[in-house]
Amino acid sequence: MFDILVWAGAGLSVTGLAGLVWCILRVASARRQNLSDDELRAAVQAVLPYNLGALALSVLGLMMVILGISLG
Protein backbone atom coordinates (compact mmCIF):
# COMPACT_ATOMS: atom_id res chain seq x y z
CA MET A 1 0.00 0.00 0.00
CA PHE A 2 2.80 2.41 0.83
CA ASP A 3 4.41 1.66 -2.51
CA ILE A 4 1.66 3.75 -4.09
CA LEU A 5 2.59 6.66 -1.83
CA VAL A 6 6.25 6.36 -2.80
CA TRP A 7 5.55 6.20 -6.55
CA ALA A 8 2.98 9.01 -6.42
CA GLY A 9 5.48 11.15 -4.53
CA ALA A 10 8.18 10.34 -7.08
CA GLY A 11 5.80 11.36 -9.86
CA LEU A 12 5.05 14.66 -8.14
CA SER A 13 8.75 15.30 -7.63
CA VAL A 14 9.51 14.64 -11.29
CA THR A 15 6.64 16.93 -12.32
CA GLY A 16 7.99 19.66 -10.04
CA LEU A 17 11.47 19.17 -11.45
CA ALA A 18 10.11 19.52 -14.98
CA GLY A 19 8.42 22.75 -13.90
CA LEU A 20 11.69 24.07 -12.51
CA VAL A 21 13.49 23.24 -15.77
CA TRP A 22 10.72 25.04 -17.69
CA CYS A 23 11.21 28.13 -15.49
CA ILE A 24 14.96 28.06 -16.07
CA LEU A 25 14.48 27.82 -19.82
CA ARG A 26 11.98 30.72 -19.84
CA VAL A 27 14.33 33.02 -17.94
CA ALA A 28 17.30 31.94 -20.06
CA SER A 29 15.41 32.73 -23.25
CA ALA A 30 14.42 36.12 -21.83
CA ARG A 31 18.08 36.83 -21.05
CA ARG A 32 19.12 35.89 -24.58
CA GLN A 33 16.68 38.42 -26.06
CA ASN A 34 18.78 41.33 -24.75
CA LEU A 35 15.85 42.98 -23.01
CA SER A 36 16.16 46.12 -20.95
CA ASP A 37 16.45 45.78 -17.18
CA ASP A 38 12.79 46.58 -16.60
CA GLU A 39 11.59 44.13 -19.25
CA LEU A 40 13.87 41.40 -17.92
CA ARG A 41 12.66 42.05 -14.38
CA ALA A 42 9.05 41.80 -15.58
CA ALA A 43 9.81 38.50 -17.34
CA VAL A 44 11.42 37.07 -14.22
CA GLN A 45 8.53 38.26 -12.06
CA ALA A 46 6.08 36.58 -14.43
CA VAL A 47 7.88 33.25 -14.03
CA LEU A 48 8.30 33.51 -10.25
CA PRO A 49 4.86 32.10 -9.24
CA TYR A 50 5.39 29.08 -11.49
CA ASN A 51 8.85 28.60 -10.02
CA LEU A 52 7.54 28.64 -6.47
CA GLY A 53 4.67 26.31 -7.38
CA ALA A 54 7.01 23.84 -9.04
CA LEU A 55 9.33 23.96 -6.03
CA ALA A 56 6.42 23.35 -3.66
CA LEU A 57 5.21 20.44 -5.80
CA SER A 58 8.65 18.89 -5.77
CA VAL A 59 8.98 19.27 -1.99
CA LEU A 60 5.53 17.78 -1.46
CA GLY A 61 6.47 14.81 -3.62
CA LEU A 62 9.70 14.27 -1.71
CA MET A 63 7.79 14.40 1.58
CA MET A 64 5.42 11.75 0.25
CA VAL A 65 8.37 9.54 -0.73
CA ILE A 66 9.97 9.86 2.69
CA LEU A 67 6.65 9.20 4.42
CA GLY A 68 6.00 6.12 2.27
CA ILE A 69 9.48 4.73 2.89
CA SER A 70 9.36 5.31 6.64
CA LEU A 71 5.85 3.86 7.05
CA GLY A 72 6.41 0.95 4.67
Q: Are 26 and 44 in contact (CB under 8 A)?
A: no
The type of residue at 64 is M
Q: For the chain, how many residues are written?
A: 72
Number of domains the chain is built from: 1
pLDDT for the residue numbered 1: 84
**What global pTM score does this model have?**
0.87
Range of the domain at 54: 2-71
pLDDT band at residue 58, thresholds of 50, 70 and 90?
A: very high
Is 30 in contact with 43 (CB distance < 8 Å)?
yes
What is the predicted pLDDT for the residue at 72?
85
* Axis-axis angle for helices 2-32, 37-71 (nearest 10): 170
By the 8 A CB rule, do 61 and 7 touch?
A: no
Encode pLDDT of 9-53 as tens digits: 999 999 999 999 999 999 999 999 989 999 999 999 999 999 999
